[in-house]
Amino acid sequence: MNITVFGSGRWASFLAWYAASTGHGVLLCGREGSASYEGLRAERRNEFLALPETVRYTCDPAEAWAYADTLLVSISAQQLRAFCLNLSEAVPALRSGTPTGKTLVLCMKGLEDPTGLRLTQVVLETLGTVVQAGVWVGPGHPQDFVAGVPNCMLIDSGDADLTRALADSLASPLIRFYYGEDLIGAEVGAAAKNVVGIAAGMLDGLGLDALKGVLMARGAREISRLVGALGGSQLTVYGVCHLGDYQATLFSPYSHNRAYGECIVRGQEYPYLAEGAATARSLLHLSERTGVELPICHAVARTIAREKPPKEILTDLFIRSTKSEFYS
């Protein structure tokens, strides 16, 4: 089938590479003037991979929309609302109110700041029901995939038939897809693992990496309670969308969120996007709304805001008054 990829960063370029390598027609839509897009268009490569000759390029969202029924979106989560509004302006069909039969698959992990909305909710608010929205989440880095290291990921859309169709059409020996059955849990879990990843990087930067085991246990429990309060299944958090993504996010040298956390506590600048920073703030809004305590998310947000020295904040987080392990 034909697939459009919106975006030109490291994950978007991987999506184009992957879709083309598995036999699909691919049109990559980037922003004119963007260094990453112009580099791909001129050289067909970046620091992570080389794109097949079959991949086409455009800066025209209307052309990108017309090319395919499956459209993969990989941009900053905080840019999604503007992206949807701009797409609506460029494509009259999106303003008609009539379902188009097309699917936006959101291939990024985050919650909108400051609303706390899940990304599929942002699509629904901006585009209504003229498109269907799904998510592609789970562990994996382009560097590993391009080297032939396989992994398991998750597709969910809230529609069982659509979820299965997407997962089956995108699967390959390199990526095994699970069918998601809990869109709330998949989106919140995938977004929140980036916040836990920042906390892991902070521990690395302070020489406290022995606490990562406790961080993982408490992180999964903390987010599972939130997902349950939001109407999702707590068990989803223990799957590939969250706990199953911990290795790639809390330990991998390729993890932007882990590296960002390490830089924060060392007083260094980090030049790349770390989605978990905005997500931490969004999760605090959800904490207030649901009444669910999120101590790890609070600690990360306070450290980013430099409210206290990082070591003091993290010590307070892990050396608190005695509580039941199940609820700590």
Active site residues: 193
Return phi, psi of residue 58, to 5°. -155, 155
Cα 57 from chain centre: 24
Closest by Cα among 235, 241, 219, 239 to 318: 219
| Contacts (Cβ under 8 Å, ≥6 apart) of 270 | 256, 259, 260, 263, 264
Return phi, psi of residue 215, to 5°. -60, -45
Question: Count of CB atoms within 10 A of residue 231's CB?
Answer: 10
Q: What single-letter amino acid sits at 64?
A: A
**Beta bridge pairs of residue 137:** 154
Q: Is the dihedral of CA 159, 161, 164, 169 positive or negative?
A: negative
Cα 119 from chain centre: 10
Query: Where do we find the tokens 């649901």?
Result: 290
| DSSP structure string for 241-306 | TTGGGHIIIII-TT-HHHHHHHHHHHT----S--THHHHHHHHHHHHHHH----HHHHHHHHHHTT
